[in-house]
Amino acid sequence: MFYFCRRGQENLHNLRVQDFEVVNSNGQKYIKKVRSELTKNHQGTTNETEGTGGRMYATDSVLCPVKSFEKYLSKRHAGTDRLFLHSKNNFLDKDSVWYRNEPLGVNTLRKFMKTISKTAGLSKEYTNHCIRSTTITLLNHCGFEVRHIATVSGYRNTASLSSYCYDTSDD
């Protein structure tokens, strides 16, 4: 959600494995979303290509998001193309499958960040939308132009981004 600047819980339950593609271009590996979807901001057809939206780039760290994504895909149940699945109650690292052939429901995905916040005992309850807000704020803080942030986030009106882009230097 962070790398693709997704809207809260919108359409998470509909995401499929084939909606994403691993690309290796000029020695740089990344994952991009290749299928667009109906959203609040985009009411077009679902077979359009996603365009120049967010990408998840590989890093050399142990927490490389591309390696994590690829490992997740390798441990999924092969009987479904749904992206988000329920995990098995028990599994070992060496097991070939960690997930059941049962997609996560709309409500589970809707409350995902709230559940993580509570379980982790965080001082603040975060929402799925917080991830999108963080992405937009970080892109702004790193000096990306508003028009580029709008492309990644899917906003058509750059003025809509002003509520996200605030000074975080004191934070």
pLDDT, block means (10 residues), the chain with 171 residues: 70 88 92 70 47 78 95 95 95 96 92 92 89 85 85 77 69 56
How much is the pTM? Answer: 0.76
Q: Where are the alpha helices (DSSP H) in the chain?
A: 65-75, 106-110, 112-119, 128-141, 146-153
Alpha carbon distance 152, 5 (integer Å):
7
- Phi and psi torsions of 115, nearest 5°: -65, -45
> Given this model, what pLDDT does residue 51 score?
46
> Given this model, what pLDDT does residue 48 score?
47
> Given this model, what pLDDT does residue 10 score?
66
Is 58 exposed, middle or buried (CB count within 10 Å of its CB: 0-12, 13-18, 19+)? middle
Picking from 90, 102, 124, the residue whose alpha carbon sits closest to that of residue 116 is 124
Is 3 exposed, middle or buried (CB count within 10 Å of its CB: 0-12, 13-18, 19+)? buried
Amino acid at 74: S
Domains of the chain, by residue range, sit at 12-59+105-161
Alpha carbon distance 34, 16 (integer Å):
11
> Given this model, what pLDDT does residue 45 score?
45
> Given this model, what pLDDT does residue 46 score?
46
Q: Retrieve residue 75's tokens.
A: 């441990």
> Given this model, what pLDDT does residue 170 score?
62
